[in-house]
DNA sequence: GTCTATATGCTGATAGAC
DNA sequence: GTCTATCAGCATATAGAC
C-alpha cells in the first residue's frame, strides 16, 4: 500500500468536489469550451457506475481494472488516466455509497414520534436497497473482508451517528414509547433486515421467485418489514 | 469452467465421504500403517480451514491458492495434489458450511410451540454465527456475488426446507399462535439479523467495541435478538 | 484526452525429481 | 506423498505516439 492515510475515502470526497469545481473554473477562465470537463465528468461517472457493479460482484481483490474498463467500453489505460490506481477508484465508489447511506440516515430525524421515525427510516433503507443494490453489496463486501478501507468512515461518521441515535432511543424507552431493549441491537436488526434485500438478492430470487423483487411485491414486503420492526421495538406514538 | 454439472457441492459431499472411507479401508486391507490416510485427512482439513478463512476475506475470485497454501504452511503444489482445482476446494468449503446451516435448521422442529421453535432456532443461528463466522462470510460472499455455485443447494435443499417451514408458520398463524405476517419475511429477518453478527463482525467491532463480541456480551445480545424476533412475530405458547 | 504496446509481477495449474 | 521448477496467461500500471 503506497497511499498515506490522508488519502481515505472521506478525504477523497472533499478533494473530488473541489477538484471538479477547479476544473470547471479553469475551463471558464480560459474561455475554452466546456467540452473537455464534461467528457471527463461523464467518463468518470460511467466508470464509477461500472466499477460499482464489478466490485459488487467480485469484491475489491477479485475485481480487475480490465473488466471495469471493458464494461465501460473504454481502454484500460483510459481508466488509469481518470483514476490513478484501482484503490482510488474503489474509494470513490465507497464514498458515493456512503453519501446515500447518509441521506437515508437523515430520515430517522423526521419526527420525534418513534413510529414515524423508525418506520420512515426502515422505508428509506428498503427503498435504497431496491434502488441501488450494487452499492449495498460493495459496502457488504468491504465489511465482510474486514472493513480495512472503511475504518475512518465507520469511526468518524457512522459511530457518532449511531451513538446519538442510541441516546434518542433510550429517551423513547424512558418515555414509555418503546419497549425496554438494547438500542444497538435494534439498529443492527434494522440494518441487517433491510440490507438483506439488496445483498442477498440472489438467494431471495432463488427461494421466493423473481416476482418477489418486483415493484409491487417489494412495496408489500417493505410494509411487512416496517410492521415487524415496529412490533419488535414495541413502538407507540406519543399522542395515543 | 471445465467441470460438468454433476460435480456440484452436494455431489462432491457424497464423493468425499465415500472416498475417505475407501482410503481407510484400502489401508487397513493392505495392512499398511494408517499413517498415510491420516496425513491426508489432517492436511485436507487443515487446508479446508485455511481456505475458509481466505475465501471469507477475499471471496472466490480474490482468493489465491498460493495464499491458502502459504497459510497452511504447505507448498502450492501440495494443495493441488489434494484439491485438483480452486473450484473443487471452494465447493468443499461451501459443503462444510451448509452442513452446519442444516444442523441449525433442525432446531426449528424441536417443538410445536412457536416460542420454543423460533426462539431455539434464533439461538442456534446466533451460536453458529459466533462459533464459525468465517463460514457465514464465505456463504455471504457467494450469494452477494450472484450465488452461481450454490443454485443447486438453494433450489434442492434450502427451498424445500423453507417451503415446509412457511406452511408450519401459516398453521401457527391460523391457530392464533403468531400474529398475521408473511412467513418468508419472518425467515429472512431471522437469517439477516443472526448472520449479521458473523458477516458484519468488523463493523460491529468498530461501532460497538471489541467487548461487544465477547462471550458474555454475545449471550446477552442473543437473548435481546430472541426477545425482539419473538415480539416481531407476535408468538405465544399454545398452553398460555 | 485517447489508446497501442509493453513492463513487471502474480495467477492457477503441472511436470517430474525425490 | 512432497516439493522445486516452470508453464501460459492475466494482473496493475505506465510510456509514449497520436
Residue pair B164/B106 in contact by the 8 Å Cβ criterion = no
| Alpha carbon distance B45, B53 (integer Å) | 13
Q: Which residues have CB atoms below 7 Å from chain D, the nucleic strand?
A: A 63-67, 76-77, 80, 84-87; B 36-37, 39-40, 43, 74-78, 81
Average per-residue pLDDT in chain A? Answer: 89
Query: Of B196, B198, B183, nearest to B232 (Cα)?
Result: B183
Q: Are A192 and A81 in contact (CB under 8 A)?
A: no
**Residue the block writes with cell 465508489:** A93
Q: What is the pLDDT of residues B85-118, one digit of tens each?
A: 999 999 999 999 999 999 999 999 999 999 999 9
Quick check: helix, strand or coil at residue A159?
Answer: helix
In a domain, A240, yes or no: no
Asked whether residue A73 falls in the same domain as residue A136, the answer is no
Do residue B55 and residue B83 come from a single domain?
yes
Question: Looking at the structure, do residues A108 and A142 belong to the same domain, yes or no?
Answer: yes
Q: For residue A180, count other CB atoms closer than 10 A to its CB.
A: 10
Is residue B119 included in any domain, yes or no? yes
Residue B81, Cβ neighbours under 10 Å: how many?
12
Question: Strand C: which bases are under 7 Å from protein Cβ?
Answer: 1-5, 10-16
Output the nine-digit C-alpha cell for B41: 485427512
φ, ψ dihedrals at A67, nearest 5°? -70, -40
At which of B21, B56, B90 does a domain end?
Answer: B90
Are A30 and A118 in the same domain?
no
Chain D positions with an atom below 7 A of a protein C-beta are 1-5, 10-16
pLDDT in the model for residue B9: 58
B64 touches strand C (CB under 7 A): yes
B135 within domain boundaries: yes
pLDDT-derived band at A24, boundaries 50, 70, 90 = very low
Evaluate whether residue A110 is within a structural domain. Answer: yes
Q: How far is CA B228 from CA A193, B6, B187, B237, in A?
A: 13, 42, 14, 16
Domain final residue pick, A58, A90, A122: A90
CB A108 within 8 A of CB A187: no
**CATH number of residue A199's parent domain:** 1.10.357.10
The residue out of B74, B90, B106 marking a domain boundary is B90
Domain around A55: 9-90
Contacts of A154 in chain B (CB under 8 A): 203, 206-207
A75 and A134: one domain?
no
**Interface A:B, Cβ pairs < 8 A:** 164
- Using the structure, give the distance in angstroms from the CA atom of B76 to the C1' atom of D6, rounded to a whole number: 13
The domain that holds A34 is classified in CATH as 1.10.10.60
Give residue-wise pLDDT tens across range A6-17: 345 554 443 343
* Residues B38 and B75 occupy one common structural domain: yes
A2 domain-assigned: no
Burial class from Cβ neighbours inside 10 Å (0-12, 13-18, 19+) for residue B150 reads buried
The pLDDT tens digits of the residues spanning A183-216 come to 999 999 999 999 999 999 999 999 999 999 999 9
Question: Which residues in chain B have Cβ-Cβ distances shorter than 8 Å to A227?
Answer: 181
- Chain segment A71-117, per-residue pLDDT in tens: 999 999 999 999 999 999 999 999 999 999 999 999 999 999 999 99
- Do residues A112 and A184 share a domain? yes
Same domain for A36 and A137, yes or no, is no
Interatomic CA–C1' length for residue A80 and nucleotide D14, angstroms: 9
Which tens digit of pLDDT belongs to each residue from A162-182? 999 999 999 999 999 999 999
The number of residues in chain A equals: 240
Specify the residue for cell string 461501532.
Answer: B207
Q: Which residues of B touch A202 (CB under 8 A)?
A: 143-144, 146-147
Q: Are residues A65 and A123 in the same domain?
A: no
Residues B85 and B125 in one domain: no
User: Which chain B residues touch A191 with a CB distance below 8 Å?
Assistant: 196, 200
B182 vs A61, A146, A224: nearest CB: A224
Q: Is residue A239 included in any domain, yes or no?
A: no
Residues B73 and B164 in one domain: no
Distance in Å, residue A49 CA to nucleotide C2 C1': 21
Query: In this structure, is residue B239 part of a structural domain?
Result: no
Please state the domain count of chain A: 2
In a domain, A175, yes or no: yes
CB B134 within 8 Å of CB B53: yes
The nucleotide whose C1' lies nearest the CA of B89 is C12
Residue in chain B lying closest to A162 (CA): B207
Q: What are the backbone dihedrals phi and psi of residue A90, each rounded to the nearest 5 degrees, phi first?
A: -60, -45
A26 and A112 co-located in one domain: no
Q: How many helices (H) and strands (E) does chain A have?
A: 12, 0
**Contact call for A196 and B184, based on CB within 8 A:** no
Which residue of A129, A192, A221, A223 is the best one to mutate when testing the B interface, meaning the one whose CB has the most B CBs within 10 A? Answer: A192
- CB-facing half-sphere around the CA of A230: CA atoms within 13 A: 21
Amino acid at each position: 500500500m503506497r497511499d498515506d492515510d490522508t488519502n481515505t475515502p472521506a478525504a477523497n470526497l472533499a478533494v473530488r468536489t473541489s477538484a471538479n469545481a477547479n476544473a470547471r473554473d479553469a475551463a471558464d477562465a480560459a474561455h475554452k469550451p466546456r467540452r473537455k470537463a464534461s467528457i471527463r465528468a461523464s467518463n468518470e461517472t460511467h466508470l464509477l457506475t461500472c466499477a460499482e457493479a464489478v466490485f459488487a460482484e467480485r469484491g475489491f481483490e477479485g475485481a480487475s481494472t480490465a473488466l471495469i474498463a471493458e464494461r465501460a467500453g473504454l481502454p484500460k489505460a483510459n481508466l488509469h488516466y481518470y483514476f490513478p490506481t484501482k484503490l482510488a477508484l474503489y474509494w470513490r465508489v465507497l464514498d458515493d455509497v456512503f453519501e446515500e447511506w447518509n441521506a437515508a440516515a437523515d430520515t430517522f430525524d423526521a419526527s420525534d414520534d418513534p413510529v414515524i421515525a423508525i418506520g420512515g427510516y426502515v422505508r428509506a433503507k428498503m427503498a435504497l436497497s431496491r434502488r441501488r443494490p450494487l452499492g449495498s453489496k460493495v459496502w457488504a463486501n468491504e465489511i465482510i473482508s474486514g472493513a480495512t478501507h472503511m475504518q475512518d468512515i465507520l469511526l468518524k461518521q457512522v459511530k457518532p451517528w449511531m451513538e446519538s441515535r442510541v441516546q434518542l432511543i433510550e429517551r423513547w424507552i424512558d418515555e414509555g414509547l418503546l419497549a425496554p431493549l438494547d438500542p444497538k441491537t435494534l439498529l443492527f436488526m434494522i440494518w441487517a433486515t433491510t440490507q438483506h434485500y439488496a445483498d442477498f438478492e440472489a438467494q431471495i430470487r432463488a427461494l421466493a421467485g423473481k416476482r418477489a423483487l418486483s415493484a409491487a411485491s417489494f412495496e408489500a414486503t417493505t410494509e411487512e418489514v416496517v410492521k415487524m420492526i415496529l412490533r419488535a421495538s414495541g413502538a407507540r406514538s406519543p399522542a395515543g
